Amino acid sequence: MADLPSLWTHEPHRVLAFKPGDRVSDIDTHATPGFDGSKADAPALQAERNERFAQLQEMLYANGRAGDTRSVLLVLQGMDTAGKGGIVEHVVGAGSPMGIRYTSFGVPTAEERAHHYLWRIRNALPGPGLVGVFDRSHYEDVLVVRVRNLVPPDVWGARYDEINAFERELTEAGTTIVKVAMFVSLEEQKQRLAERLERPDKYWKYNPGDVDERALWPAYQEAYQAVLDKTSTEWAPWHVVPCDRKWYSRLAVTELLIETLKSLDLSWPPADFDVEAEKKRLAAS
C-alpha cells in the first residue's frame, strides 16, 4: 500500500471486490467504501492520481513498443447516468491518446448482428502496451438482451460460461481485465436524467428510452446479480463501485487502474542498442 494515498483506509481493489453471496440489492450506492476523505479532498487527490496513472500508462506503452505484448482492458458496465462517460473523460482521459483505445458498444449494427456477439468485442481488443476501455461491453449480451428477451433464455443462459472462457483466453494472452460494475440509485438516476432535461447542453445525452428502462429496474438488478455471481472469476473479477458520488467513483476507478498497472511490475524498457556507441554516432552526425 506504499503508493496508496493515506485517505484510503482500505485498498480499493479489495474493498470493492465482489464476493460470493454479495447482493446487488444491498449495495449502498451513496457510500464511499475504503475512503476516509470527503468531496473537498477529491480534486487535488484526483489530479495527483491522474498523474500517477498517466506515468504508469506511458510505461506500459513504452514496453509495448519494446516488444512486451501485455495490455490492460477496463470494462465499464452500469445503468444510464452511472457515470461511465465521466470515468472515460476524467480518469482514462488522463492518459495519452497514443496509448488508450476506447470503444463504445451500443445497439448492435446490422453487420454486428450478422456475427457472433463476441465478434465486435474481439475487433476492439487493445493491442500490446495499450489500455483498452469498453464503454459497455459483451456484458450487454447478458444484460439488456436478457431483460428485453432479445434471444431465448437458453441462448443468453449459455453465454456466462462462454464469456468466462473468452476472458480466460484474453488473460492468458496477456491482457489484464479490470471489470467495473457501476451502481447508481434509482433516485439519483432520476435527478441526473432531470438535469439533462434542464440543460440544453445535455439534451444530446438524453434518450427517452432511458425512462422506459427505469420501469425494468428490478429485472436489471437481477441481471446484474447473475453477471456478478456467474462471471466474477479468479482471472477476471468484478469490482462493485457505488456511484451516487461521482468524485468517489472516479477516485476509486483511478486506484483500480493504478493497482492493475503496478501489478504488471513494469520498468522502463532497457536500450536495445549500445548507448555509448549511439552517443558517438549522434555527436558525429
Interaction residues for a second copy, span 59-88 (CB under 8 A): 62-63, 65-66, 85, 88
Q: How far is CA 16 from CA 21, 109, 147, 158, 159, in A?
A: 14, 34, 25, 27, 25
Cα–Cα distance between 135 and 122 in angstroms, integer? 14
Q: Which runs of E-coded beta strand occur in the chain? A: 71-78, 100-104, 131-135, 175-183, 238-242
User: Which residue in 100, 142, 236, 252 binds a second copy (CB under 8 A)?
Assistant: 100
Site string for a second copy, 175-194 (x = CB under 8 A): ---------------x--xx
The dihedral sign for the CA sequence 106, 164, 87, 122: negative
- The reply on whether position 107 binds a second copy by CB under 8 A is no
Interaction residues for a second copy, span 35-64 (CB under 8 A): 62-63
User: Which residue in 47, 150, 155, 197 binds a second copy (CB under 8 A)?
Assistant: 197
Residue 106 CB, shortest distance to a second copy, in Å, is 10
Residue 133 CB, shortest distance to a second copy, in Å, is 7
Residue 103 CB, shortest distance to a second copy, in Å, is 10
Beta-bridge mates of residue 242: 183
Is the CB of 2 or the CB of 282 nearer to a second copy? 282
- The reply on whether position 24 binds a second copy by CB under 8 A is no
Residue span binding a second copy (CB under 8 A) among the ranges 19-27, 165-173, 203-211, 249-257: 203-211
The dihedral sign for the CA sequence 252, 253, 255, 259: positive
18 within 8 A of 237, measured Cβ to Cβ: yes
Q: What are phi and psi of 189, to 5 degrees?
A: -60, -40
Query: Pick from 125, 163, 166, 126: which is nearest to 145 by CA?
Result: 163
46 within 8 A of 65, measured Cβ to Cβ: no
Cα–Cα distance between 124 and 6 in angstroms, integer? 36
| Residues near a second copy (CB under 8 A), total | 44
Helix, strand, or coil here: 238?
Answer: strand
- The reply on whether position 92 binds a second copy by CB under 8 A is yes
- The reply on whether position 172 binds a second copy by CB under 8 A is no
Grid coordinates representing 82? 452511472
Is the CB of 100 or the CB of 163 nearer to a second copy? 100
Cα–Cα distance between 269 and 9 in angstroms, integer? 33
Cα–Cα distance between 73 and 126 in angstroms, integer? 7
Residue 198 CB, shortest distance to a second copy, in Å, is 8
- The reply on whether position 30 binds a second copy by CB under 8 A is no
Residue span binding a second copy (CB under 8 A) among the ranges 35-43, 171-179, 197-205, 231-239: 197-205
Which residues contact a second copy (rule: CB under 8 A)? Answer: 62-63, 65-66, 85, 88-89, 92-93, 95-98, 100, 102, 104, 133, 135, 190, 193-194, 197, 200-201, 203-206, 208, 211, 214-215, 268-271, 273, 275, 278-279, 281-283, 285
